[in-house]
């Protein structure tokens, strides 16, 4: 849909995280070039890069369609282009930009910027493609699916959405969350807390995001072990690091050798969960994967049609090695 000629477009500019060196030269030229520049997030550090920022009408707050129409009307009224400046990238978690592009894409030029997500992946050491990370607005219905096992970044926090997430955690959405505050800005901080205690974290605002690693299945004993270990860590009884967690597993195995019992087996399993927690691996998911691999190998060997009862131990080991090569 075209509403204006090319002399009067809307230009959408991504400002990056806020530092001048992180913004592109073209973006800075546009937001300081004397155009009418409206800012989508006046409280964000990136707004300081704009020469003469203009605020969007307060009455339009929270209504992307109304803001899109307002900007189009302004583009018709003046001789200079209308610029919408957004922090980060225009293509990430910007509902106003999404609405503008869906309605008036022929009349819009977009100057990309560095997304807060680019900085977040580096801070977390996470490959979003390998891990299948989802981007979930805190107030969307997708929040109800956070326990599905896929990691997620939760954006657009409000006091109401924080309370809702904490309530979901108490109802069964388990796990630990990384509170990513003002990512890419001078006061950036990352804080790892149990999701059930999210409401107790101060300073959360609209520029705070949450990273929820792969969630543990609610109600499982492994989930209870993870929760107990979080509690122990807060009280000073957690493992100092991954090396200490591995050493604890080895120590528990030695104790079980000396005194085989149900309790010692439980200690081995509990220590293994500690390793999974420090690796940010969902222990339920890991165990399901191990069970799947084991049964898959058995199915493969059954498919060979051999009389296993008549096979020697060496033959059985050869079949098993072949099954591992075929199915992992």
CATH number of the structural domain spanning residue 280: 1.10.287.1080
Task: Please check whether residues 142 and 109 belong to one and the same domain.
Answer: no
d(CA 217, CA 23) in angstroms, rounded, equals 41
Evaluate whether residue 174 is within a structural domain. yes
Residues 132 and 109 in one domain: no
Using alpha carbons, select from 22, 57, 27 the residue that is nearest to residue 42. Answer: 57
Task: Identify the domain boundary among 114, 149, 179.
Answer: 114
Model confidence at 313: pLDDT above 60: yes
User: What is the rounded average pLDDT of the residues 37-45?
Assistant: 89
Position 214 confidence tier, pLDDT thresholds 50, 70, 90: low
- Provide the token pair at 317: 């080991």
Q: Are residues 265 and 286 in the same domain?
A: yes
Q: Are residues 108 and 183 in the same domain?
A: no
For residue 284, pLDDT over 70 is answered with yes
Residue 3 falls inside a structural domain: no
> Quick one: which of 143, 149, 135 has its CA closest to 218?
149
Contact 206, 155 (CB under 8 A): no
Is the model more confident about 324 or about 176? 324
Q: What's the burial of 65, exposed, middle or buried (CB within 10 Å: 0-12/13-18/19+)? A: middle
Q: Is the pLDDT score of 2 beyond 60?
A: no
- 50 neighbors 40 (Cβ within 8 angstroms): no
Are 109 and 126 within one domain? no
Helix (H, G, I), strand (E, B) or coil at 12: strand
Q: What is the mean pLDDT of residues 15-39?
A: 91
Tell me phi and psi for residue 294, to 5 degrees: -65, -50
Q: Point out the domain boundary residue: 71, 99, 114.
A: 114
Q: At 45, which CATH number?
A: 3.40.1010.10
Q: How many C-alpha atoms does 65 have within 13 Å on its Cβ side?
A: 0
Report the mean per-residue pLDDT for the chain.
Answer: 83
User: What pLDDT was estimated at residue 130?
Assistant: 74
| Residue 1, in any domain of the structure | no
CATH code for the domain of 154:
3.30.950.10
Higher-confidence residue of 113 and 172: namely 113
Confidence band for 256, pLDDT divided at 50, 70 and 90: very high
Q: Which residue has the higher pLDDT, 218 or 3?
A: 218
Give the burial string for 100-134 (b: 16+ CB within 10 Å, else e): bbebbeebbebbbbbbbbbbbbeebebebeeeebb
pTM (predicted TM-score): 0.58
Are 46 and 127 found together in one domain? no
The model's confidence at residue 201, banded by pLDDT at 50, 70 and 90, is: confident
How many structural domains are present in the chain?
3
Domain span including residue 227: 221-327
Are 233 and 300 in the same domain?
A: yes
Q: What is the pLDDT of residues 120-135, one digit of tens each?
A: 888 888 888 877 788 8
Q: 43-52, 207-216, 297-306: lowest mean pLDDT where?
A: 207-216
Cα–Cα distance measured from residue 55 to residue 37, given in angstroms and rounded to the nearest whole number: 9
pLDDT at res. 79: 66
Cα gap 151→212, rounded to integer Å: 5
Q: Please, how many CA atoms are within 13 Å of residue 105, restricted to the half-sphere of its CB?
A: 3
SS3 of 51, please? coil
């Amino acid at each position: 849909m075209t509403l204006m000629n090319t002399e009067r477009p809307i230009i959408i500019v991504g400002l990056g995280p806020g530092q001048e060196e992180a913004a592109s030269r073209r973006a800075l030229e546009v937001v300081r070039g004397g155009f009418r520049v409206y800012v989508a997030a006046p409280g964000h550090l990136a707004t300081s890069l704009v020469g003469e920022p203009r605020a969007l009408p307060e009455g339009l707050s929270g209504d992307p369609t109304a803001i899109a129409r307002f900007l189009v009307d302004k583009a018709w009224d003046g001789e200079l282009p209308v610029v919408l400046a957004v922090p980060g990238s225009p293509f990430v978690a910007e509902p106003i930009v999404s609405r503008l592009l869906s309605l008036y894409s022929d009349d819009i030029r977009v100057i990309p910027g560095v997304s807060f997500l680019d900085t977040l992946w580096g801070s977390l050491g996470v490959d979003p493609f390998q891990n299948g990370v989802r981007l979930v607005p805190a107030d969307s219905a997708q929040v109800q699916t956070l326990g599905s096992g896929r990691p997620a970044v939760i954006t657009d926090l409000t006091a109401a959405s924080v309370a809702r997430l904490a309530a979901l955690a108490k109802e069964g959405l388990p796990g630990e969350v990384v509170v990513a505050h003002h990512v890419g800005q001078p006061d950036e901080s990352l804080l790892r807390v149990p999701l059930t205690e999210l409401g107790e974290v101060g300073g959360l605002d609209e520029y705070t995001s949450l990273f929820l690693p792969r969630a543990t299945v609610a109600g499982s004993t492994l989930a209870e072990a993870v929760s107990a270990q979080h509690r122990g860590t807060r009280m000073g009884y957690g493992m100092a690091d991954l090396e200490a967690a591995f050493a604890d597993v080895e120590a528990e195995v030695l104790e079980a050798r000396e005194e085989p019992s149900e309790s010692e087996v439980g200690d081995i399993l509990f220590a293994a969960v500690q390793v999974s927690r420090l690796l940010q691996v969902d222990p339920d998911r890991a165990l399901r994967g191990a069970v799947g691999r084991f049964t898959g190998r058995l199915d493969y060997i059954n498919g060979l049609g051999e009389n296993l009862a008549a096979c020697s131990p060496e033959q059985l080991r050869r079949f098993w090695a072949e099954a591992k090569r075929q199915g992992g």
